[in-house]
Structure 1
Amino acid sequence: MNDRHHLVLKDIHIALDGVTLLALDAEVGPGEVLTVMGPSGSGKSTLLAYLAGFLAPAFQASGRALLDDQDITALPAERRGIGLLFQDPLLFPHLSVGGNLRFGMPRATPDKAERVEAALAQIGLSGFGQRDPATLSGGQKSRVALMRLLLSEPCAVLLDEPFSKLDTHLRHEIRQLVFDRLRAAGLPSLLVTHDREDAEDAGGRVIELSH
């Protein structure tokens, strides 16, 4: 576990047409999950877009995001060191399962083939490297998306309702897998959701937004 990674949100303020959507101050330590809950339109996904570096120009935002003591607020998205998990696994259809996992790895990563096999074994998908992602079930796609994220070696993770499209019986299992892996990797994570069970499984602090 990495005890170095931490995410600090200082005086984050996001508005649309002069109307405040959210104001937030928070610290997320290594392996912690901070959950931001609220109904649709409360600014949850807007917050993630701001932190990830692709907030639409229509919004007005201020405040600072510090990742491992570096101010990342003005950095381009690809240099922020932040990994993302979305509602959809967003696997690349033109790549095999193994190709999807290799895609995220830093260029200088040694023994990529061995790392892919080890990653697949960790999520119960040994031998799936050559498979077409279209042949996977929803739960399998979620597992591959998680491992692709971890293999990209982010310093923090943003989770945008990544369990909302899973069958009910799968949700708890995939949530546990995701949160256990993030904790083991020592990654500060921010989860936005409207599902209270997501927050309970995440086990961290919860901030509630209103409209």
Structure 2
Amino acid sequence: MPPAAPMFPSLRLDRVSIALGGRRLLDVDALVPPGAVLTVMGPSGSGKSTLLALIAGFLDPAFSASGAARLGDEDLLASPPERRGAGLIFQDPLLFPHMSVGQNLLFALPPTVSGRAARRAAADAMLARVDLAGFFDRDPATLSGGQGQRAALARTLLAEPRLLLLDEPFNGLDQALRGTVRALVVSLVAERRIPAILVTHDPADAEAAGGRVLSIGAEAAR
């Protein structure tokens, strides 16, 4: 039996507030335990993706923000982006087009995995975990939408993130693929025991994620 994955700390959003031009977009207090998914829903322009940008460290300077995003005892908002350990997945896979699928994954591997054979084995194992066994040498341009998102997920997880930020990652998929990829993401978050935040318009995504649903903007939180 493989060793259990390390459990990362909970993510606590403590009085997080974001405003634009003096207009407050959102106020959030939430706790995301390791292995759980917080789903954030709301109309376009309500600040859902802006919340992820704040946590990841690339908030547009036009916005102002206050509060804390604590991972354990660390306030991520006080750390440089490269030290926050946030893995991001967007609607588009954003794989490097000049690299094979496997090379994309190798690029993400931390230097603690050393040696060509060990790094190749880690990439192959992750590809198998996301049902892409044998895809190491594939050109990203030849992947379907679902395959591309699974490759992007594999690359992100190989970087060993401490939290996962998902910005409408299932939008470009048809309903059948959406359900498959969604179930895979939720299972891997639980398996890796990392906190995750999912931004979506789709109530089915929220239901599948199984965690707390936070509605912002025109809707009331529940």
Q: Verify: 1:195 aligned to 2:198, yes or no.
A: no
User: Match of 2:65, as an amino acid?
Assistant: A
Equivalent position SS for 1:54: coil
Counterpart-to-counterpart distance in 2, 1:100 and 1:107: 15
Equivalent position SS for 1:107: coil
- From 61, 72, 75, the counterpart of 2:76: 72
- From 30, 55, 60, the counterpart of 2:59: 55
- From 170, 180, 185, the counterpart of 1:173: 180
TM-score w.r.t. structure 1 length? Answer: 0.97
Aligned-residue offset at 1:50: 0.5
TM-score w.r.t. structure 2 length? Answer: 0.92
Residue of structure 1 equivalent to 2:190: 183
Deviates more, 1:115-124 or 1:151-160: 115-124
Partners of 2:7 and 2:192 within 8 A in 1: no
Query: After TM superposition, what 4+ stretches of structure 1 lie above 3 angstroms from structure 2?
Result: none
Counterpart-to-counterpart distance in 1, 2:42 and 2:17: 16
Aligned-residue offset at 1:108: 2.2
Partners of 1:7 and 1:28 within 8 A in 2: yes
Structure 1: stretches of 5+ with no match in the other structure:
none
How big is each residue's C-alpha offset from its partner over 1:142-164, in whole Å with a ceiling of 9 and x where there is no partner?
11111111100000011000001
Equivalent position SS for 2:7: coil
Counterpart-to-counterpart distance in 2, 1:4 and 1:91: 26
Q: Verify: 1:133 aligned to 2:137, yes or no.
A: no
Percentage of identical aligned residues: 56
Equivalent position SS for 2:77: coil
Partners of 1:2 and 1:186 within 8 A in 2: yes
Residue of structure 1 equivalent to 2:16: 12
Over the residues paired in the alignment, what is the CA RMSD in angstroms?
1.0
Counterpart-to-counterpart distance in 2, 1:107 and 1:154: 14
Aligned-residue offset at 1:3: 2.8
Equivalent position SS for 1:108: coil
User: Match of 1:25, as an amino acid?
Assistant: D
Aligned-residue offset at 1:103: 1.0
Q: Verify: 1:37 aligned to 2:41, yes or no.
A: yes
How big is each residue's C-alpha offset from its partner over 1:146-194, in whole Å with a ceiling of 9 and x where there is no partner?
1111100000011000001111221001000011011100010011111
Structure 2: stretches of 5+ with no match in the other structure:
none
Counterpart-to-counterpart distance in 1, 2:156 and 2:196: 12
Q: Verify: 1:91 aligned to 2:95, yes or no.
A: yes
Equivalent position SS for 2:88: strand
